[in-house]
Structure 1
Amino acid sequence: MVSTVEVPEADAQFWRDWGDPLLVSIVDATLRANHDIRIALSRYEQSRALTHQAGLDRYPTLDVSGDVSDRRVSASQAFGLSRAHRDGELHTANLSVIWELDFFGRVRRSVESQRADTEAHAADLAGVQVAVVAEVTDAYFRLLGLQRRLQVARDNESNQADTLRLITALFQEGRGTSFDTERVRTQLAFTRSRIPPLEAEAAVTANRIAVLTGREPAAVVTMLDRSAALPVYPAQINAGVPSELLRRRPDIAAAERRLAAATARIGVATADLFPRFTLGGLVGTQALGFNTLFQRDSETRVVSLGVGGSFLDVGRVRSRIAAANSAAAESLAAYEQTVLIAMEETEDALVRLSHAQAEKAILEQAAEASRSAALTARQQFEGGMVGVLEVLDVERSRLDVENLLAQSATQQATALVAVYKTLAGGWPQLIPEPQGDAMAQR
């Protein structure tokens, strides 16, 4: 009997706790229709079917056969008989069974190896789910960040257009210069030049989200064309102890199962040093006519004990054992490497998230200061206290800082997604941020 292997799914808590219905629907659609997940699921199902097939090798194999033949015995075999008496039909029906007596564990270890391979494919499926959910969530947050940067650029464009109109009016009244007007016009053109690349990048990101959800880009672009705040992030993430990480990571589980499969294949190769014993049997019936096929005395039977295998070809068997040992050593090294990489990725993701949070906090202060400075500069310009050059300089600084803040908020979001990915589906504890996302509040 083949054991049932559970297929782990990506942790739903990650995207549901942030209260964004569109994100929830996108991730749910991804888990249902993403082609990478469907490919991984098909591989798992194939491996599971092979595991079931391997498990049947532990039981006898039944075979049913029947035959009807018209034959003629040669004259030398039936001396003295006429041609008509040498012609005849032969009817046979047989039920045979053959069973390998697994004295040395070849079949048992083969089933163990195949089962471990199937469990590795199940872990691969879980890993693909985690990776795809992380990718689509990362793309969604990057899209929100791009939309926020577009909003900043368009707001600054509107503000600078107002400044240009004011400067033009003053110039027409004889209170300004053509130089001031051209400087404002140049700054406005520069701000407008930032918008098309952001729109292109946003469109490309939306297309990527569509593909990840298994749909054509046109089906989701309109739905994603909106302006929404990036979600509120936890101030701290408790990644847990390393042993918990080792249990959660699907890539580690897959590497461990492949190591188990490689170890089991050593047993399969080693069993070839010993003979294979098979127990066979056949019951049937044989008659010259169909009417007498199942009558008494037409029955046949065979009982056999077979011995075979390649146990006498010791050189080749030992070469296969050596190859299996080397494959197991390779799998062990791959497992150890996977563990180290998991530790590295987790530490890197947590460090990047911590620094992204620190950078965003600083840029929030800078953005607040730049907005205040821009308002003061405009008021002083309208009062004749400063020139247009000072206003343009302050507004350019404001645009740069707000653009950097939007980028930083996006980096914090994607850094959090990276932590989710390295922790394979979530983390044990979320500590909410008391003040929330300052940029979202504004």
Structure 2
Amino acid sequence: MKNRVTKAISASVILAVSLIVPLDHAAAAVCTSTKSTFTGNGTIGLLNAIYTVESFTTVVTGCTWAVPSNVTKVDALIIAGGGGGGTWVAGGGGAGGMMDTSSISVTPNANISITVGAGGSGATRSILASISSTAATNGGVSSFGAYSVNGGGYGGSWSDVAGQNGGSGGGGTGNLAQGNTTNSLYGNNGGTGNSDGTYSYPSGGGGGAGGVGLNGQSNINGMGKSGDGGPGRASTITGTSVTYAGGGGAGCHGNTAISCVVGQGGTGGGGTGDMWIITTHQTSRGGNGLDNTGSGGGGGGGPNATVYNPSYYYGGNGGSGVVVVRYISDLNLSSSLGTGSITSTSTTYRTPTQMNVNAPVNGKITFLQFGKRIPGCLNLTAVAGATVTCNWKPAYHGQIPITVNYFQTGVSGLFKSANFVFSTIKRASSR
């Protein structure tokens, strides 16, 4: 059982054991973030949440972030650094592990440790004995408090370096296996390489957060086809849909320009593979993964054994990771009821009318007219993400001032209050 858990930690296990742990030491550097805001879109609403988004994009280990004084819940996107691409018949680097989770309990004013992982280095390779070669490296771990994801596994190189395990696995070479996924809510295995030398040893693409890296294939329309990187995965934590963590495409041996097709980088920023062409002697360099997406680097190509110029062949670097934190910083106190059962603040005397609130946090809501409670609309239970409705029949003509008081669960005092005016018109005559 222990071995099984070690090999594959499920999302439910990760979330069950993860806690936000305040730092005990004050010496850690303060995190630097880029802030933005957006207003949540509700289907019906007179109160919509205003979210603050803090993006931590600088590679750092253990900086501290102070929770704002009025914040008890946050959403977090955590993406580790992408793995570097291999070279010389090379697998693509795997994307960094990705975790996109909501409603994390935090303590106001507490310090939380944040780490943003670096992208892994691409491999360098030479077939000259006098020139040293280096394998690619895995991407760095990213974390928010005790929530942590592993960096992407690096892509394999020729016959001596296999694709490595990681947040998403690195792609395999034409001779060795791919890497697999470890400790990632969203991560996938790299593709396997193909040992068919007739078709330039097509290699496997790195895994992405949204899918596996593709395998290398031989004899596709008379050519080898190295695997594309696995697709990335979209997140809307910033208020718009952004795709992150694509796998790196695999490289080709490429004796001629038409002997092999390189792998494309996965959506979300994966680096594209490269090939070395014997007739041009061009330097082969896999594409880099896009920084702050955790995407994998592309695999480099490889030389023909009889040609030594240029001497080096490079895998692409993995993209650095990112940590994004989102929390409700205010409420948009609008006098408009937006779209829904009411499209304006005009209604008819003694006509059943609904007033709706999109609840951004758990709590209680009370509706008042002329400062007095509306019957049936006292201490209505608000559940975050749900709509709270007050059913009301206006008993006055003309202008009716309405107040909505919002009390948050576990927080003393009034959370927010919205004021607007209903214009009540007479019912049409029945004659």
TM class by shorter chain equals under 0.3
Q: TM-score, normalised by structure 2?
A: 0.22
Pick the structure with more helix per residue: 1
Higher relative contact order (CA 8 A, sep 6+): 1
Pick the structure with more strand per residue: 2
Q: Considering only CA atoms, is the larger Rg found in Structure 1 or Structure 2?
A: 1
Q: TM-score, normalised by structure 1?
A: 0.21
